[in-house]
Amino acid sequence: MAAEDRNLIEILEENHPIDISKYISFVHSPQCGAIATFAGTTRDNFDGKTVLELRYEAYATMAIRCIKSICSSARSKWNVHSIAAAHRLGTVPVGETSVFVAISSAHRADALDACKFLIDEIKASVPIWKKEVYTNGEVWKENSEFLQRLELGKDEKAKNRVYRSGKLEVEEHEKWGCCGEKVKVNDEAADSCRNEEGYEQTEPFSSLSKVQKD
């Protein structure tokens, strides 16, 4: 079976909860002695504010393409057997899962490191956007991984984050990440450089920007 056939990538429409057992069953194999998982859930607070729910939007087709690229990168770095990743769209209430990753391998180190790499890359570069809804308002939020990558991008040379044996190493490359930056922009700012899929090319990375629709 080809490696890509051992990937299960899903972007779930609103009101479709993540079935964690489905993805664990997909990656389970008698050849593997380890399954590493990550579940991201909505917590009830942020920076002293009471969180009511999270709301997610995405370019689903491009998001799936980006996650597949991240899976290929993970396979090139670690000896993993199967990968499953799912992300919900729409409203995710407190306590429910918005994103789930499961990876199987013969030994735990490969599965653990690849799992951390996968979720970090999803948060940093896949075109999925999060709005936090509070008791006193709401705001679009960028993930910390994206903001860290944005800071690194200000250097003369972009850097690629590579995880090995539980440690974070940094290797220099001309560019990194499958999708570059993910930014919400207004139509007026995007009209001149939007391509046929509704994305923009921005510097210094070959970047995807979400075009905000009124």
Binding annotation for substrate: 107-108, 123, 130-132
In the block, which residue shows the tokens 């979720």?
Answer: 119
Q: Name the residue type at position 165.
A: S
* Cα 1 to the center of its chain, rounded Å: 25
Largest CA distance in the chain: 54
Q: Using only C-alpha atoms, what is the Rg of the chain?
A: 18
Q: Can you give the length of the chain in residues?
A: 214
Binding annotation: 107-108, 123, 130-132
Tell me how far apart the alpha carbons of residues 106 and 86 are, in angstroms, rounded to a whole number.
22
CB 38 within 8 A of CB 114: no
Q: Name the residue type at position 41.
A: T
Q: 3-class DSSP state for residue 57? A: strand
